[in-house]
């Protein structure tokens, strides 16, 4: 827990240095991370097998704010990605891409049909990242910190 909390704080500080006010002491807080650990939905990425370089959460929770989103993919099982973090010293080294490839592979193996997530509209780097990975922008929703863009990607072959 200490290492994950330190990773989160490093990510918050890094975003604030470039004027991105995405995360704070309210979200995602200690309790959120503790729940992720206890529910075994938090996945960690390590560099050279020892250094914590990133993390993300995978579950099925879709925020109520998403209800008005114009999703293209409907029906089937939906996996949701939350709280993607890459340690600032390891950014730009493929860690985020590896985490998302893991999420997609894991989702397919568990029988999910699609993957969804949201990304802070004030974080252009993350918006480019998800688009580069082939995620479709399904529109924006308002949260406490502002507008977040909703993204989705099909994990299974579309036979219909």
Residues 98-155 have pLDDT tens digits of 999 999 999 999 999 999 999 999 999 999 999 999 999 999 999 988 999 999 999 9
pLDDT greater than 90 at residue 84:
yes
CATH assignment of the domain containing 12: 3.40.630.30
pTM here?
A: 0.92
Q: Is residue 159 part of a domain?
A: no
Residues whose CB is less than 8 angstroms from the CB of residue 4 and which lie 6 or more positions away in sequence, other chains included: 33, 37, 42, 44, 52, 55
Look-up of token digits 């879709």 = 62
Q: Could you give the 3-state DSSP secondary structure of residue 116?
A: strand
- Domain membership of residue 56 (yes or no) is yes
* Residue 101 belongs to some domain of the structure: yes
Nearest CA among 73, 7, 84 for reference residue 42: 84
Judge whether 160 lies within some domain.
no
Please give the Cα distance from 92 to 86 (Å, whole number). 9
Helix H or strand E segment including 95 = helix 95-109
pLDDT in tens, 20-66: 999 988 899 899 999 999 999 999 999 887 889 999 999 999 999 99
pLDDT value of residue 61: 97
Domain count, the chain: 1
Compute the half-sphere exposure of residue 82: CA atoms within 13 Å on the CB side of its CA: 18
- Domain that includes residue 64, residue range: 2-154
């Amino acid at each position: 827990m200490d290492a994950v909390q330190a990773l989160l704080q490093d990510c918050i500080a890094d975003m604030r240095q470039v004027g991105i006010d995405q995360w704070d002491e309210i979200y995602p807080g200690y309790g959120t991370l503790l729940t992720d650990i206890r529910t075994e939905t938090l996945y960690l990425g390590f560099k050279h097998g020892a250094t914590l370089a990133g993390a993300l959460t995978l579950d099925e929770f879709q925020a109520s704010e998403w209800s008005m989103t114009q999703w293209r993919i409907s029906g089937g099982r939906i996996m949701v990605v939350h709280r993607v973090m890459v340690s600032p010293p390891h950014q730009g080294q493929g860690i985020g891409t590896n985490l998302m490839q893991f999420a997609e592979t894991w989702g397919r193996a568990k029988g999910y049909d699609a993957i969804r997530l949201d990304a802070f509209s004030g974080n252009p780097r993350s918006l480019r990242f998800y688009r580069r990975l082939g995620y479709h922008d399904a529109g924006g929703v308002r949260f406490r910190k502002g507008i977040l863009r909703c993204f989705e990607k099909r994990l299974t072959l579309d036979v219909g």
